Amino acid sequence: MRSLKAAGLLIGMIVGAGIFALPFAVFRGGLYWSLFHFALAISIVTVLHLLYGKMFYDHRSRHHLPGYVKQYYGKYASRLVVVSRLLSYYGYLLAYSVLGGIFLSNVLPVGKKTLTIIIFLVLSPVVYANLRKAGSINFFLTIPLVAFPVLLFLVLAPELSFKDVPLMATGSDWFFPYGVFLFALSGASVIPEVVNILGKYERKHFSKVIIGSAIVVSLIYFLYIASILGIAGGEVSSDSLSVLASQGSLLLGIGSLIGLLAIVTSFIALGLELRLTFQYDLRFKRLHAWLLTVSIPLGLFLLGLNDFVLIIGIIGAIGIGIEGTFIVLLSHKISKTNIALVATLIGIFALGALFEIATVVGIL
């Protein structure tokens, strides 16, 4: 039961807002480059999760990532991780809320901006709760998240056609899927809780949970991407679910509610992780940590930041790249990870971040 709960937490964390940007990313990046980036991203993320978990098992004291970095690399390196994590997590919460507003607007006659604000106000109090309770919630709410892409594929299979899906990207779009895939596949923020749920007596099951979760997530994503691209024709919207409007209001409504479910589970899990970072690593009181967690994403939204695809691409390539680099470095320090693997992963993260920056500023 512990293994199932741990896998449910991890899968529920991973299968969030990112899934809805995947068809758009594949369409922009072309099928061949998208397959390459997906294989690269799932390999990187799986190894990263394994290394991060092993690090927690090998180190007796309990910290979150900034605490480990401070202990082994000093306060300045720790501050870099903290800033990167704060910006990334705020981006996550902002992207989730924006998408939630879009999905709710598909079933309610209310404006997207109003609905996004309502999502913030409803979910923010939950972030004040206990993280262990979130594991149980995610475990049960993961079931419809896994079931929807499967059912969607089965329903739409007779109508799927991929003749309009480009095989190659145009211009710099070949790199577009990289950050989106990293965002959609990463679940490192809940690895400490996965370790806690399994406990030291079930350490032998940790690798199975990580690899099994990666396989399940890959299958879910494949079915969803195939379903959306197969009925989209020559155009794919950035939120992807809008494509379902051509199949009738019922399917769109179900998809929107499932999408909202993904938003809720990921918002809660990540919001709790951010609150605990403020509380335990930065020594804020619980109330202050909670206020810092929920108020800034709402403020950014009110200031007009609402391009969720741009947000998650930057978070994936740069934010996850920075954290991944420190996880790998710490793994080498604590668990004696092979230096060749460490150098390879750091090189990929560095190149990915540079390419993302060059793409955003228009150099590529």
| Confidence (pTM) | 0.86
Alpha helices per DSSP H over the chain: 2-14, 22-29, 31-58, 65-73, 75-105, 112-123, 131-156, 176-185, 191-198, 206-232, 249-276, 286-302, 308-314, 320-335, 339-361
Q: Is 240 left (phi over 0), alpha (psi -120 to 50) or beta?
A: left
Please list, in sequence order, all residues whose beta carbon lies within 8 angstroms of the beta carbon of residue 72, skipping any fewer than 6 positions away: 329, 330, 333, 334
Q: Is 307 part of a structural domain of the chain?
A: yes
**What is the predicted pLDDT for the residue at 272?**
86
Structure token digits, residue 141: 């709410």
pLDDT at 140: 66
Residue 163, CA distances (Å) to 229, 231, 232 in order: 10, 10, 11
The pLDDT of residue 133:
56
Q: What is the pLDDT along the chain (364 residues), one digit of tens a residue?
A: 788 888 888 887 788 778 889 999 999 999 999 999 999 999 999 999 999 998 888 876 666 777 788 888 888 888 888 888 888 889 889 988 988 898 888 888 888 889 999 999 999 988 887 655 555 565 566 677 778 899 899 999 988 988 888 898 887 789 999 999 999 999 887 888 888 888 776 778 899 999 999 999 999 999 999 999 999 877 888 888 888 877 777 888 888 888 887 788 778 878 887 888 788 777 889 899 999 999 999 999 999 888 888 889 999 999 999 999 999 999 988 888 889 999 999 999 999 999 999 888 777 6
Whether the CB-CB separation of 113 and 101 falls below 8 Å is answered with: yes
CATH of the domain at 66: 1.20.1740.10
The reported pLDDT for the residue numbered 131 is 54
CA 353 centroid distance within chain: 17
Q: What is the mean pLDDT of the chain?
A: 86
Yes or no: say if 222 and 354 are a contact pair by the CB < 8 Å rule. no
φ/ψ of residue 363, rounded to 5: -75, -40
The reply to whether 200 falls in a domain is yes
**Is 165 within the bounds of a domain?**
no
Please state the domain count of the chain. 1
How far apart are the C-alpha atoms of 167 and 321, rounded to whole Å? 27
In angstroms, rounded to a whole number, what is the distance separating the alpha carbons of residues 81 and 66? 6
Q: What pLDDT digit, counting tens, does each position of 251-288 carry? A: 888 888 888 877 887 788 788 878 887 887 778 898 99
pLDDT tens digit sequence for 176-225: 999 999 999 998 878 888 888 887 767 788 999 999 999 999 999 999 99
Q: Is 204 exposed, middle or buried (0-12, 13-18, 19+ CB in 10 A)?
A: exposed
Residue 166 lies in a domain: no
Query: What DSSP character marks residue 51?
Result: H
CA distances 314 to 52, 256, 361, Å, are 22, 25, 12
Transcribe 121-136 into DSSP letters.
Answer: HHHGGGGGS-HHHHHH
Domain interval for residue 264: 2-160+171-361
Burial 31-68 (b: 16+ CB within 10 A, else e): bebbeebbebbbebbbbbbbbbbbbbeebeeeebbbbb
Residue 255 lies in a domain: yes
